[in-house]
Amino acid sequence: MAAVTPLPFAIGLVVAVGLFAALTYFLVQESRRPVHWPDPVDTEPHVSHTRVVAVGVLFTVWSLWATARPVSGWR
């Protein structure tokens, strides 16, 4: 049986947590800016790049956690 080293997973998890912390900091900085309410004529939705990246990082961390945890009951 081949031995599996947890090193790649550990490196990925450390990088993901570091990115999550950095992007959370930037998200907090953005939340402190004054809110710009668009004109009622402007109906096109605007999504902040920081929020898109934050959602991507959250999904990545969740995916790594869900993949790495042992699943009981499955054989």
Cβ density class 49-67: b for 16+ within 10 Å, e for less: ebeeebeebeeebeebeee
Looking at residue 63, its amino acid is S
Q: Tell me if residue 73 falls in helix, strand or coil.
A: coil
pLDDT tens digits, 21-38: 998 888 888 777 676 666
Q: Which two tokens stand for residue 40?
A: 């009622």
* pLDDT greater than 90 at residue 18: yes
Over residues 13-18, mean pLDDT: 92
| H or E segment to which residue 20 belongs | helix 7-31
pTM assigned to the model: 0.40
Provide the 10 A C-beta neighbour count for residue 9: 13
Return the residue matching tokens 């939705």: 45
Q: What does pLDDT average to over the chain? A: 78
For residue 17, what pLDDT is reported? 92
Domain boundaries, the chain: 8-30+49-64
